[in-house]
Amino acid sequence: MTGTRRCAAIQLEPKLGDVEANLRRCRALAQEALAAGAEVVILPEFFTTGMAYLPEVADGAVPYDGPALALLREIAAEGALAGGSFLALDDDGEVRNAFVLAGPDGVLGRHDKDLPTMWENACYVGGSDDGVIPLPSGGAAGVALCWELMRSQTVRRLRGRVDIVLGGSAWWSVPPWPPRALTRRWERANHATATGAPAAFARMLGVPVVHASHCGGLECPMPWAPWVRYRGHYEGPTTIVAGDGTVLAERPAAAGEGVVVADVAFGAVEPSLPTPDGFWLHERGPLPTFAWHYQRIHGRRAYRRRRRRRRTPA
């Protein structure tokens, strides 16, 4: 697919686990995007719930063919492509982080995020699809959610196959724990990675990226240490990037909720950044690396317990 389309990405300050409130706010922001002439409207990852280690977030999973999908269809009925990810309870009893792209004529495709990040493991299981969604006018969109922008396997599954990448993040900060000088330095690096990941990804593939995000603070207990409170914020930003890595529009998390809009040239250009050979495209830092491993173990156990409870008759 080639040509220029007006694309919009939504930045949301979620009410954690409050599906109804988040859908209502997304609807209003989507209308703002449509009023600005958007032909593509992208909602952030977990647009129904936000993401934190809280039971109300995990319990906020909705049936796949439920209110989240209905909202995407409602937006698409206005003549746009509409996409975003939510915790989807599927017919097999599993919950997945499902990004759905809808068009005026119905659902175009779905991508399930491949690997849950840290405490996300308590909420859903990973998927294995290629994340390539055919577009009605030809060509295809690729999907990358949050730390999928951090992994070389995402570049490999999309390289040479897509004209644009759509997705979003619920990327949280490194908490300011003692020693504060050290954790603040880690947070500066974490923020720089979150900010630069969409543009770097665009340069590795040579296609534009439309990346929606969350903003605002979040607080929750820590896995396996509920007496320790995580207090942090969503990193943002919401960004639209050209295939050469040029930032076309950006809304920092500090700017709060809103919509960014840009005219985007679909189609590939020559990639301008090599893809690293390793598993990770960017350094994660010591604390995120530790949390990746221990929270994955804890989260998978918590997810299995929650799944058993869903299957047990009341």
Whether the Cβ atoms of residue 84 and residue 100 lie closer than 8 Å to each other: yes
Distance between CA 207 and CA 141 in Å, rounded? 10
pLDDT at 311: 74
pLDDT at 123: 98
For residues 291-297, give the mean pLDDT. 94
Domain ranges across the chain: 3-311
At 163 the pLDDT is: 98
Amino acid at position 225, single letter: A
The reported pLDDT for the residue numbered 62 is 98
Q: Which spans in the chain are helix H?
A: 19-35, 55-58, 67-76, 152-158, 180-205, 286-311
The fold of the 3-311 domain, in CATH, is: Nitrilase/N-carbamoyl-D-aminoacid amidohydrolase (3.60.110)
User: What is the C-alpha end-to-end distance of the chain, expressed in Å?
Assistant: 51
Lowest mean pLDDT of 73-82, 144-153, 196-205, 287-296, name the range: 287-296
Is residue 299 within 8 A of residue 119, CB to CB? The reply is yes
> How far apart are alpha carbons 157 and 150 in whole angstroms?
13
Question: 232-254: per-residue pLDDT in tens?
Answer: 999 999 999 999 999 999 999 99
Per-residue model confidence (pLDDT) at position 226: 85
Of 148, 204, 153, the C-alpha closest to 171 is: 148
pLDDT of 312 reads: 64
Mean pLDDT score, 203-209: 98
Q: Given a cut of 90, is residue 131 above it in pLDDT? A: yes
Q: What tokens were used for 68?
A: 């989240």
**What pLDDT score does 235 carry?**
97
157 CB contacts (<8 Å, ≥6 apart)? 130, 131, 132, 142
- Dist CA 287 CA 242 (whole Å): 32
